[in-house]
Amino acid sequence: MSEAWRALGGRRRTLARQVYARDRATPGYLCHCGRPIDWTLAWPDPMSKSVDHVHETQDGGALTSLDNLATAHLGCNSSKGAQRRREREREQRAAQAVVIAIDPRTI
């Protein structure tokens, strides 16, 4: 959970209730993994519901826009976040890499 999302406090809970109500009312709603949400499961069950940012806030996605929020399994959401963090770290390392070209004629 990002610090910005955590800092929303009560507003975060209100948004979560709105997202859950919207998605639960959508016939055939599925998590991004393709499996249905079991609305009766509670945290910390990995198949319980959680709020997912469709477009990560670090990538420019809106923090509180209902259009950018969707219900996902807790496990799927956690895995997605971890995978995205690893991708960002690889991108940062690649951007910091220094390429040294040596002209063989100078050796």
What pLDDT does 58 receive?
A: 79
Measured between alpha carbons, how far is 26 from 74 in angstroms, rounded to an integer? 19
Beta bridge pairs of residue 53:
69
Structure tokens at 17: 């209730």
pLDDT at 81 over 70: no
pLDDT at 6 over 80: yes
The torsion region of residue 27 among left (phi > 0), alpha (psi -120 to 50) and beta comes to beta
Quick one: pLDDT band at residue 84, thresholds 50, 70, 90?
confident
As a whole number, mean pLDDT of residues 20-30 equals 97
Mean pLDDT in the chain?
88
What pLDDT does 86 receive?
A: 74
Structure tokens at 105: 């004629």
0.85 surpassed by pTM: no
Percent share of the chain, pLDDT over 90: 58
